[in-house]
Structure 1
Amino acid sequence: MTNPLLQDWDTPFQIAPFDKISDDDFAPALDEALQTHRMEIDAIADCEYDPTFSNTIEALEEAGSQLDRVLGVFFTVAGADSNPTREDLQRKFSPLLSAHFSDISSNKALFARVASVWENRDSFDLTPEQARVLMLTHRGFVRAGAALEGADDARMKEIKNRLAVLGTQFTQNLLADERSWFMPLEESDLEGLPDFVIDAARAAGEEKEAGGPVITLSRSLITPFLQFSPRRDLREKAFLAWQSRGANGGDTDNRAIAAEILALREERAKLLGYDNFAAYKLETEMAKTPKAVRQLLMDVWTPAKRQAQADAEVLTRMMHDDGVNADLAPWDWRYYAQKRRVAEHDLDEAALKPYFQLDRMIDAAFDCATRLFALEFKPLDVPLYHPDCRAWEVTRNGEHVAVFIGDYFARGSKRSGAWCSAMRSQAKFPDVQSPIVINVCNFAKAAPALLSYDDARTLFHEFGHALHQMLSDVTYESVSGTSVARDFVELPSQLFEHWLEVPDVLSQFATHAKTGDPMPPEMLEKVLGAANFDMGFATVEYVASALVDLEFHDGAAPADPMEKQAQVLADLGMPPAITMRHATPQFAHVFSGDGYSSGYYSYMWSEVMDADAFAAFEEAGSAFDPDRAAALEQHILSTGGSQDAAELYKAFRGRLPGVEALLKGRGLTAG
């Protein structure tokens, strides 16, 4: 019991003692936690008493707490601060965990008890939340294959095991490609780049020990380089490297892995009696069917493509005026779009960026949470897993609510993207526990740390997820926080982005890094006026990715996913100067696990709701209307998955929304 992962944590708010945990602790801790969980499961399955909600469903809720704690720490560091040892452990843990949970879902005695409680549910005096937890538990067992017998049961275990291995391999291959590539820049290559890009490139060069500035495949560095570099040859080189992640041949190539994952998903769905994986996956989401998803995406695709094609004509003329007699290419779009933004909106990213300091944007997000939900944030001085991390205690009316951890800077040990996770979720059973929530981003590290407007939106987005976790107020952890339908989970995050656009938020927190002066009113007006600039491009690259994801899973699995991707894009008439936001070999949302598989559309589904939900505040006359804020917390942020998502939204808004608010919010029209 000297392993710190298995000891009681005598730390503030029982935060993991990262300063005492070593990589050598993870494997023995996992072995011990798995054995403990097996014993807990066996005790439930072999219980001598008739099945009840308490001795079966609540017992399952209580089981596995030690395992959750070990995995919460491990996956936090494996995703945000990886190293060869942790990557090796991930490869070893994936099949172990898959087999462990497959054994649970295929435990016939255990499933018989769950099924008995479900069949006799009317005889138990269940609260609405208990009834929901029972339904979700029973449904989860059935969808995991608990009712399968014989060869089908054995094959399902094999499929789950293989998928776990492949998902880990896909993620690690992508990280390896991102980590290994960088483009050194000579001093002459820096001409035309604003100071914030140069500073970020020099900082990246220091991290890579390259002896000078470099461009890496971190989105927060490569995107502004593509926006500002007048060197078309360097833009092309950087873009092609970005686009080819996971498709460079050799040991890190993800194309064959994607094909195998798709084939295994189809087989898994058919074992459970579904026509295809999309039908299986969408059954439990708000959308319900592939047809509903396709309808939404095409309703948005048509006006977005029309706008993007019109924009492409303008950018092509600008490029030709520069003396470049070629077709507009993907590595040209952002450069000429930025020039157009300056010309049409008199809004220069280089002049704008000093007003978006990371620390001030964190303060802005906190302040909005204070004004909306009376939350307060106090810095915590505790050991964390990386020196870049920061922690705050979150309180309300003097009472502890949560711990919030922010890990904001890009580094080679961190996978790309941005995410929110909970090392511990809120619950009241079997004991009251407060959440420990982490936001992880990949902003370019410089002094001072400056964000693009899109970066600031990302910060607000992930903090919206954090609020969903922090304000959760349910009894059972399985329905806590973001444990909701996939196409509902993005509602709180995308909704919170709207507060970045509130004029008095920007006027207070968008202050210049050098002078401290607030953003001038005329610049603020331009920022808000240009909020929908280049929205055709942004919508097309996203919707194309979502449609490819859907077509991968709605039907027979393609033998060659790259060929299928090309076919889908050709059928859509994809504008040639725009690429998918996530091409197949780097589409971690879809292939690193099942989370967003056949579900990348969910950002758009949630946006339909978030546009309509923020309109409720506008109709009330204030973005900080206390009644609307209270209703948002009561019906959405505090309830987790304890009620049906559609019913929760209707309780907040009185109805379900249509696509009109989304199109209006993006500056697109359906006609």
Structure 2
Amino acid sequence: MLAPLRQQPWTCRQCLQRLQRLQSVRSVRSARCFETAATSAVYTHPPPQSRSKKVDDETLRRVFDSQPFWSEFSQRPIVSSKRKTGLVQNQYLTSPDGFREFATTTLQKCQGIVARVLAARTVEEYRGMARDLDRLSDLLCRVIDLSDFMRSMHPDPQIQEAATQAYALMFEYMNVLNTTTGLHDQLKTAIDSPEVAAYWSEEEKIVAQILIKDFSNSAIHLPPHERQRFVNLSNDISQLGSEFVQGAETATSHVGLNANDLAGLDPIVVQKIKRWNKKAPVPTTGMIPRLALRSVHSEQARKQIYLATRTSSRRQIHRLEELLRKRAELAQLSGYQSFAHMTLGDKMAKSPEAVSKFLTSLVASNRGSVREELARLQQMKTSGTPLQPWDHAYYVHHQVMKYSQLRRSRELSAVPEYFSLGTVMQGLSRLFDRLYGVRLVPQETAPGETWNSDVRRLDVVDEADRHLAVIYCDLFSRPDKSPNPAHFTLRCARAISADEIAEAAASSPSAHPNDGMATAVDQATQTLRQLPTIALVCDFQDPPADGSGQPSLLSEHSVRTLFHEMGHALHSILGQTSLQSISGTRCATDFAELPSVLMESFATAPEVLALYARHWKTDTPLSESMVRSMERDRLAHASIYGAVEDEAQILMALVDQAYHSLNADTLSTSAEGAINSTAIYHAVSSQHSSLPDPTDTSPLTSWQGFFGHLYGYGGTYYSYIFDRAIAHKIWQEVFQSGRAATDRAAGERYRDQVLRWGGGRDGWRCVAGVLGASHPSNADGRLAEGGEEAMREVGRWGLRV
């Protein structure tokens, strides 16, 4: 049996990305009591407690802003149930032992499905194969997603341990599935059968192709000895990747400088690092070197610090080059030209050549703004010598400080007083109601339903009060909690078959086809649906405990963060397909950030601010002058360093492509130093960066050793800026740069063309559909077809509004 937690799973791209990424986008699920209909055995759930929209709206603000109200609200008795409540209402998770029961029970269901798929012989049996395998994926993800979340978020060590064991068991089983060639062969037979393919829905065809691609990427089609080599390489890559992410280190720990060389740096900081002989060794990691690069007046001192902080240890560079070499070999073994070709085949980009077209086009569209920014900084360098990369942070900092002294006002400093967490949540609900006809309703939780007493539950309902989703909001800071904001899908949406309902009823009177978690009946089809359950995690400060009643107040940045994460949640809420493999955020990696990035534009649009930005104490709205000040401040800061920051992101994506486009045929598998990652980095930087690192130093800088995302995003780092470009275009064209930010027609257009499909529609068709057939960028169907020219066109759109 294969070693657990190493081999890549075949069934679920989300789980595969979780193995490869330390920072991943995840999800949640919901729960509700159920009753068995006497005649049809259909499980139904009572709708969320009916209140008026106005009451729900006010309650939403108070459950986040008023601690006394929340204490009372969270202790209200809910409708009693005969079964004990488990975490997120999962019927198994009432104790640590429940995780083991959940995993073993689910494993038995999985084994039954595998046996049925392997035994299929008739056309009818093959016709059910796409849904069978999608359910298999759903069962695996039910345990993996929830266990992975709880082992990192739950405070109880016993729960953490039990969740880790459940997680490991299911991943080990997926490793076994990786060696089950019969699954691949049976699915291939189904796909190749005209009688089966003609019967399948479009969703079933898409899921079948996704699973075949996953099989291919797991080398299931290879002869046994080559498949074992694939497994070994995958394990090596996993180990090297983990070591690379965790092992970033500089070649030297300190830069030896005199204290006098550090004039400009905070004297307290200088005193902290100064030795008795007036030497001040500046560390090359942490906050101190960043502060020094922003404030030390001596250019020579800044240069030494800059070069040292961007030079990785030889050990770290060796890890990276081994990782790249093994990835190239893995791709070659699987029949691909390079690792980038292997990983991009199911993305919107399709190929590294198309990504290159996008990135080089983006460089060109961004270059003018970069030159303007650097020209202003060059004027500040009174020595007249050319601006250098170690000058950038210094002069940007001084320009920002100068701007702040001239323009910063009491108005801007008071802005957070209008952004209490409750009002922002209220604004999100009002915005969703305006655009899509859905809103957020606070719901009492049962004892044991949440992992922390501060977690708020929101039910998502539509205009007919139909239940759509459950969101658990874990938004406040606490010890040992990760500071990184994230969206987790604990359970995806999908249709539950009559066979599953019968299976649950036959197994136990108390069994539920969705483990007790949220379901609803689709009135149009009378189909029982598994509703998405989502967790939103942030790290906002608790309200002050000074008796003032002041709620948690958010900075503008935190507001954008919350809108971003809720954009992912919106995708899960509205992208409810019948198959979970393509539900919500389960789409191409280079399409997944589009809804969240677009949501950031809504956060501070004047039309949206008018919906929610009110003073926490007086309830007065944010004034027009304050809104204008915020906009001026945002544009001013963007003009100081925004384009150069964008260029840095483009450069990182270009480096990622250069590394992962290496062809194994051109690499020696034994010669030391077959890959020179430093030379490649400098070649890309010299060609595309406006302020490249120097190439006349010894040793050369090797910043790539600190680029941890090279492991998690290998070949796909371009995705975020790609989605930024698309999001800005949709914001401009569909939502008219904010003028239609609350317009229902614009919202429905975006929902119907993008959000509702999840991963069930090619991303290019979504983009072409939302922009419209008559849009100039869509001439001759260019966008809908995708390909290199479509990628180049998106690059021309740029990243700046």
What's the TM-score bracket when you normalise by the shorter of the two chains? 0.7 to 0.9
Q: How does 1:233-244 map to 2 (within 5 A)?
A: none
CA shift, 1:469, in A, is 0.2
Match of 1:365 in 2: 428
Aligned to 1:314: 376
More deviation in 296-305 or 490-499?
296-305
Paired amino acid for 2:185: A
Whether the 8 Å CA contact 1:377–1:395 is kept in 2: the answer is yes
Instruction: Give matches, 1:479-518, under 5 Å.
Output: 479-512=582-615, 516-518=619-621
| 2-structure distance, mates of 1:575, 1:83 | 49
CA separation of 1:458 and 1:340: change in aligned 2, threshold 3 A: farther
**Which residue does the alignment assign to 1:427?**
494
- Do the aligned residues in 2 keep the contact of 1:535 with 1:666 (CA within 8 Å)? no
Which of 655, 662, 668 matches 1:555? 662
Whether the aligned pair in 1 keeps the contact of 2:740 and 2:746 (CA below 8 Å) is: no
Which residue number corresponds to residue 254 of structure 2? none
1:138-537 to 2 correspondences below 5 Å: 138-166=212-240, 257-315=319-377, 329=391, 332=394, 335-342=397-404, 346=408, 350-382=413-445, 383-396=449-462, 397-409=464-476, 413-415=480-482, 417-430=484-497, 431-443=528-540, 447=544, 448-512=551-615, 516-532=619-635, 533=638, 534-537=641-644
Structure 1 pair 312/362, CA: closer, same or farther in 2 (3 Å)?
farther
Q: Does 1:67 align with 2:183?
A: no
1:400-455: CA deviations, max 9, x gaps?
Answer: 11011223345664456433221010111335100001223345666454444333
Distance apart, 1:483 and its partner CA: 1.4
Does the C-alpha gap of structure 1 residues 258 and 93 become closer, same or farther in structure 2, counting only changes over 3 Å? farther
Distance in 2 between residues matched to 1:169 and 1:27, nearest whole Å: 30
Give the SS at the match of 1:439: strand
Cα distance, 1:495 vs. partner?
Answer: 1.9
Q: Paired residue for 2:711, among 579, 591, 609?
A: 591
Paired AA for residue 648 in structure 1: C
* Per-residue CA distance 1:468-506 (angstroms, 9 max, x = gap): 101123111111111111122122222222212421222
- Counterpart of 1:369, as a letter, is F
Q: What is the aligned counterpart of 2:719 among 592, 602, 609?
A: 602
Instruction: Provide the secondary structure at the position in 2 that maps to 1:642.
Output: coil
| Paired residues of 1:167 and 1:591 also in contact (CA < 8 A) | yes
Partner of 2:24: none
Q: CA deviation at 1:79?
A: 4.7
Q: Is 1:538 aligned to 2:645, yes or no? A: yes
Q: Deviations over 1:6-59 (max 9, x none)?
A: xx985499534798444x765675466446534532332134545744442222
- Matches of 2:651 and 2:607 in 1, distance apart? 35
Q: 1:159 and 1:90 mapped to 2: Cα distance?
A: 28
Q: 2:691 corresponds to which residue?
A: 575
Any conservation in 2 of the 1:166–1:261 contact (CA below 8 Å)? yes
Amino acid at match of 2:711: F
- Check whether the contact 2:487–2:535 (CA below 8 A) recurs between aligned residues: yes
Amino acid at match of 1:634: D
CA distance in 2, matches of 1:154, 1:82: 39
Give the C-alpha shift of residue 384 in structure 1. 2.1
- 1:362 & 1:156 partners in 2: Cα distance? 47
User: 1:111 is matched with which residue?
Assistant: 184
SS across alignment from 2:754: helix
Looking at structure 1, the residues matched to 327 and 171 of structure 2 have their Cα atoms a distance apart, in angstroms, of: 15
SS at match of 2:538: strand
Q: Residue in 2 aligned with 1:133? A: 207
Is the contact between residue 332 and residue 338 of structure 2 (CA under 8 Å) also seen in structure 1? yes
Distance 2:336 2:324 in 1: 15
Q: CA deviation at 1:270?
A: 0.9
CA shift in 2, pair 1:500/1:19, >3 Å? same
Match of 1:645 in 2: 763
- Matches of 1:171 and 1:258, distance apart in 2: 10
Do the aligned residues in 2 keep the contact of 1:427 with 1:476 (CA within 8 Å)?
Answer: yes
User: What SS does structure 1 have at the residue aligned with 2:496?
Assistant: coil
Confirm or deny that 1:58 pairs with 2:131: yes
Q: Is the 8 A contact 1:72 1:423 kept in 2?
A: yes
CA distance in structure 2 between the aligned counterparts of 1:279 and 1:264, rounded to whole angstroms: 15
Letter in 2 for 1:153: R
**Given that residues 320 and 326 in structure 1 are in contact (C-alpha distance below 8 angstroms), is that contact kept between their aligned partners in structure 2?**
no
Aligned twin of 1:45: 118
Residue of structure 2 equivalent to 1:205: none
Of 70-79 and 631-640, the range deviating more from structure 2:
70-79
d(CA) in 2 for partners of 1:32 and 1:587? 41
Q: Distance in 2 between matches of 1:621 and 1:274?
A: 47
User: SS of the residue aligned with 1:378?
Assistant: strand
Unaligned runs of 5+ in 2: 1-30, 35-82, 249-264, 269-284, 498-527, 545-550, 665-673, 695-701, 784-789
- Please list every run of 5 or more consecutive structure 1 residues that lacks an aligned counterpart in the other structure: 175-187, 192-216
Change (3 A) 1:14 1:319: same
SS at match of 2:441: strand
What is the deviation of 1:377?
1.2
Tell whether the 8 Å contact from 2:363 to 2:647 is kept in structure 1 after alignment.
yes
User: Is the contact between residue 232 and residue 331 of structure 1 (CA under 8 Å) also seen in structure 2?
Assistant: no
**Are the equivalent residues in 2 in contact too, given 1:189–1:231 (CA < 8 A)?**
no
Q: Which has the larger radius of gyration?
A: 2
CA contact (8 A) 2:338 2:660 kept: yes
Deviates more, 1:349-358 or 1:427-436: 349-358
Q: Distance in 2 between matches of 1:83 and 1:310?
A: 54
Post-superposition shift, 1:165?
Answer: 4.7
Residue identity opposite 2:231 in structure 1 = K
Distance 1:49 1:412, change over 3 A: farther
What is the RMSD computed on CA atoms of the aligned residues? 4.6
TM-score normalised according to structure 2 size:
0.65
Q: Is the 8 A contact 1:356 1:450 kept in 2?
A: yes
Secondary structure of the corresponding residue to residue 716 of structure 2 = coil
TM-score (norm 1): 0.76
Distance (Å, rounded) in 1 between the aligned partners of 2:162 and 2:240: 14
> Which stretch shows the higher mean deviation, 384-393 or 85-94?
85-94
Give the letter aligned to residue 433 of structure 2. T
Aligned residues: 603
Please say if residues 429 and 476 of structure 1, whose CA atoms lie closer than 8 Å, have aligned partners that are also in contact: no
Identity of aligned residues (%): 22
CA distance in 1, matches of 2:378, 2:418: 31
Q: Which structure's relative contact order is higher, taking Cα pairs within 8 Å and 6+ residues apart?
A: 2
Task: Determine helix, strand or coil for the equivalent of 1:432.
Answer: strand
Distance 2:476 2:395 in 1: 26
